[in-house]
């Protein structure tokens, strides 16, 4: 049974003009260094997770019959390809600041996703993709709602990267879910895939930031550790309500309306994408379109 609800794909594959260079600080949010580490850790996962999602979605394409859904999956693939390529550029800069040994973690991620593809069914991998996207939807809402707290006054390049990424995560919230429903539709596997993907991605993300914090001596600092707990608690309590909704049998991603800020972001992009790559992080609460650097 399919629960596909969209008439046609409206996804836009955007090539963002970010200007990453070596002067990006590991603590790109100077006021929130622990949050910076957490985002850096999550960013490290993207060039391994997102290509796996892309390969999985490519494999499901022959099983789909709805032309609009097929187009949406193709556009989803285009968006995810942009995401991991931009994250890789950012990650290369972060890694070059004394974290070369993080390649060990990168190899672990590559090995684990390759293992899934070799040993697990397409149904599992697609449930992982749909499950991860459910999580990304909730994370996107949380990031946008708390954008001033999390990104206020931070390096615009990093804030703009993360917020662009999650605006598009909201935009393509239906693609993997609808593909899974069309190809398999089993509720219990989707439930398992969501819980598995959420924990799996958090595991690698956590390993990444712990590695960097240990390298910098921050992991044994009580204040740094307490702040990590604080951000994690804020994150978990923030994403949990929508994540629980996504676990319900009746859930469809369109049940969760996009925040106005992300809708405005999309509208502004149609006029000028260069400015969205350089958001004014001192004015993140002003209505989108008015809060850019002049």
What residues make contact with Fe ion under the rule CB under 5 A?
A: 80, 83, 136, 169
Q: Yes or no: say if 121 and 227 are a contact pair by the CB < 8 Å rule.
A: no
Which CB, 56 or 189, lies closer to Fe ion? 56
What are 60's two structure tokens? 């499901």
Which CB, 27 or 165, lies closer to Fe ion? 165
Q: C-beta of 94: minimal distance to Fe ion in Å?
A: 18
Q: C-beta of 30: minimal distance to Fe ion in Å?
A: 26
Q: C-beta of 39: minimal distance to Fe ion in Å?
A: 14
φ and ψ at residue 65, rounded to 5 degrees: -120, -25
Which CB, 170 or 279, lies closer to Fe ion? 170
Q: C-beta of 80: minimal distance to Fe ion in Å?
A: 5
CA angle 270, 262, 166 (to 5 degrees): 105
What are 114's two structure tokens? 């390759």
- Cβ contacts of 288 within 8 Å, gap of 6 or more: 261, 264, 265, 267, 268
Strand-pairing partners, residue 279, are 292
Closest residue to Fe ion in the complex (CB): 83
Q: C-beta of 222: minimal distance to Fe ion in Å?
A: 34
What are 221's two structure tokens? 């600092």
Which CB, 166 or 213, lies closer to Fe ion? 166
Q: Yes or no: say if 231 and 34 are a contact pair by the CB < 8 Å rule.
A: yes
Which CB, 161 or 218, lies closer to Fe ion? 161
Nearest to residue 56, comparing CAs of 75, 84, 77, 83?
Answer: 77
């Amino acid at each position: 049974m399919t629960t596909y609800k969209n008439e046609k794909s409206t996804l836009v594959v955007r090539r963002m003009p970010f200007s990453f260079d070596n002067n990006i600080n590991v603590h790109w949010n100077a006021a929130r260094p622990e949050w910076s580490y957490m985002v850096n850790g999550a960013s490290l996962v993207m060039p391994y997770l997102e290509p796996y999602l892309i390969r999985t979605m490519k494999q499901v394409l022959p099983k789909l019959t709805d032309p609009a859904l097929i187009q949406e999956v193709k556009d989803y693939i285009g968006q995810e390809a942009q995401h991991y390529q931009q994250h890789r550029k950012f990650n290369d800069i972060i890694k070059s600041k004394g974290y070369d040994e993080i390649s060990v973690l990168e190899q672990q991620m590559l090995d684990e996703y390759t293992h899934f593809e070799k040993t697990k069914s397409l149904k599992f991998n697609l449930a992982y993709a749909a499950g991860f996207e459910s999580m990304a939807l909730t994370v996107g809402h949380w990031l946008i709602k708390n954008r001033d707290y999390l990104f206020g006054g931070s390096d615009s390049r990093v804030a703009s990267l993360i917020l662009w990424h999650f605006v598009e995560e909201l935009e393509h919230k239906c693609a993997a879910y609808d593909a899974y429903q069309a190809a398999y539709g089993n509720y219990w596997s989707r439930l398992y895939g969501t819980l598995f993907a959420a924990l799996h991605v958090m595991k690698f993300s956590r390993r990444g930031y712990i590695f960097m914090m240990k390298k910098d001596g921050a992991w044994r600092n009580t204040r740094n550790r307490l702040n990590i707990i604080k951000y994690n608690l804020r994150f978990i309590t923030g994403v949990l309500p929508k994540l629980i909704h996504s676990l319900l049998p009746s859930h469809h991603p369109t049940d969760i309306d996009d925040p106005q800020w992300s809708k405005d972001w999309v509208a502004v992009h149609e006029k000028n994408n260069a400015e969205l790559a350089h958001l004014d992080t001192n004015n993140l609460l002003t209505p989108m379109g008015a809060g850019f650097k002049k």
